[in-house]
């Protein structure tokens, strides 16, 4: 899901290679060619079969870095698009989605790059021949309450705690939940979202070994009125989805909104566990 958090990437020709950054993760992100912006640019030049010239990169990052909010995918997509513009290369769209193919090949899956490209809530699969993605509806008035811890979450560490195999019962459990989730989105039945986001493949493992606050925070958010709450990506961010009775955030009476109550409940859990972080309230971005 693309949330309304944005980074700005500027790529220009230069006499020497340089990466400058400001904002979220400015100190932590790599300043060499391993930066995903550079990898995205190179992929665009490779598609055009043109060598990459010497370039200068500048990023204003407003997406918290390594927090399970897709900052890496935003960097990849921004780099590819910047590279395509610089080299003057066009990619085929209909029937091939070449931009998605390049981005997903770098990321390894379409889960985050597809929303970064197309916006909204995306469901991505590999057809056997190429990556494909389709948009699922975003219920009107739905908002996101994000608790973003001050510490980073490395995807490699988060993967290391997962089970090497998945039982048939666990697979059936998750397949049923994801079907329930998509149906809840399609019918705007927010009451069913809490069942749709239930999981046995990664949240119990990460909650018990990495993020002790996860399930207490989910419970507190739902008790405060959230439709659901879950671990965002590989963590450590916890995201709650909320809405009001009228379905339109501009016409709802103030007392119908539960965003602030949910935010306060999540912050209280963080305080109980001695975890510092920031709280953001945002919504779905329908544009990539």
* Distance, CA of 212 to CA of 277 (rounded, Å): 15
* Distance, CA of 82 to CA of 139 (rounded, Å): 32
Question: Is 257's pLDDT higher than 80?
Answer: no
Look at 83-87, 137-141, 153-157, 182-186 and tell me which has the smallest mean pLDDT. Answer: 153-157
Provide mean pLDDT across the span 69-93: 95
**In degrees, to the nearest 5, what angle opens at C-alpha 37 toward C-alphas 31 and 43?**
125
**Contact status, residue 5 vs residue 282, Cβ threshold 8 Å:** yes
Number of other CB atoms surrounding residue 83 within 10 Å: 27
Provide mean pLDDT across the span 123-128: 96
**Contact status, residue 134 vs residue 91, Cβ threshold 8 Å:** no
State the number of CA atoms in the 13 A half-sphere of 260 facing the CB: 4
* Distance, CA of 239 to CA of 233 (rounded, Å): 10
Question: Is 152's pLDDT higher than 90?
Answer: no
Provide mean pLDDT across the span 20-46: 95
Question: Is 252's pLDDT higher than 60?
Answer: no
Query: Two tokens at 55?
Result: 């370039």
**Contact status, residue 239 vs residue 191, Cβ threshold 8 Å:** no
Identify the band that residue 255 occupies on the pLDDT scale cut at 50, 70 and 90. low
Provide mean pLDDT across the span 161-177: 96
Q: What are phi and psi of 21, to 5 degrees?
A: -145, 150
* Distance, CA of 60 to CA of 77 (rounded, Å): 15
**Contact status, residue 102 vs residue 73, Cβ threshold 8 Å:** no
**In 48-111, alpha helices (H):** 71-87, 98-107
Query: Two tokens at 259?
Result: 């965003």
Provide mean pLDDT across the span 200-214: 96
Query: Two tokens at 47?
Result: 């598609």
**pLDDT > 90: percent of the chain:** 85
Question: Is 250's pLDDT higher than 60?
Answer: no
Look at 31-40, 202-211, 251-260 and tell me which has the smallest mean pLDDT. Answer: 251-260
Provide mean pLDDT across the span 51-57: 97
Identify the band that residue 253 occupies on the pLDDT scale cut at 50, 70 and 90. low
> pLDDT value at position 156?
75
Q: What are phi and psi of 93, to 5 degrees?
A: -110, -75
> pLDDT value at position 140?
87
* Distance, CA of 87 to CA of 80 (rounded, Å): 11
Query: Average pLDDT over the chain, rounded to whole?
Result: 93
Identify the band that residue 159 occupies on the pLDDT scale cut at 50, 70 and 90. confident
């Amino acid at each position: 899901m693309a949330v309304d958090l944005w980074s700005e990437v500027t790529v220009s020709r230069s006499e020497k290679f340089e990466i400058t950054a400001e904002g979220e993760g400015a100190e932590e992100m790599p300043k060499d060619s391993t930066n995903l912006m550079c990898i995205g640019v190179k992929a665009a030049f490779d598609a055009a079969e043109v060598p990459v010239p010497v370039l200068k990169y500048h990023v204003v990052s407003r997406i918290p870095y390594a927090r399970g909010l897709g900052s890496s995918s935003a960097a990849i997509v921004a780099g590819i698009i910047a590279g395509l513009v610089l080299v003057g290369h066009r990619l085929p769209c209909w029937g091939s989605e070449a931009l998605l193919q390049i981005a997903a090949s770098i990321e390894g899956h379409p889960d985050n790059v597809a929303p970064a490209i197309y916006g909204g809530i995306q469901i991505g699969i590999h057809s056997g021949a190429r990556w494909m993605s389709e948009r699922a509806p975003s219920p009107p008035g739905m908002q996101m309450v994000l608790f973003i811890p001050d510490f980073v979450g490395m995807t490699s560490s988060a993967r290391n705690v997962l089970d090497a195999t998945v039982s048939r019962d666990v697979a059936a459990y998750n397949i049923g939940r994801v079907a329930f989730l998509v149906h809840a989105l399609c019918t705007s039945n927010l009451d069913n979202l809490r069942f749709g986001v239930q999981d046995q493949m990664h949240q119990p493992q990460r909650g018990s070994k990495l993020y002790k606050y996860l399930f207490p925070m989910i419970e507190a958010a739902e008790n405060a009125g959230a439709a659901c709450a879950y671990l965002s990506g590989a963590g450590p961010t916890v995201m709650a989805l909320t809405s009001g009775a009228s379905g339109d955030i501009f016409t709802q009476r103030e007392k119908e909104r539960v965003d602030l109550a949910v935010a306060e409940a999540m912050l209280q859990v963080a305080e109980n566990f001695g975890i510092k972080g920031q709280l953001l309230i945002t919504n779905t971005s329908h544009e990539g």
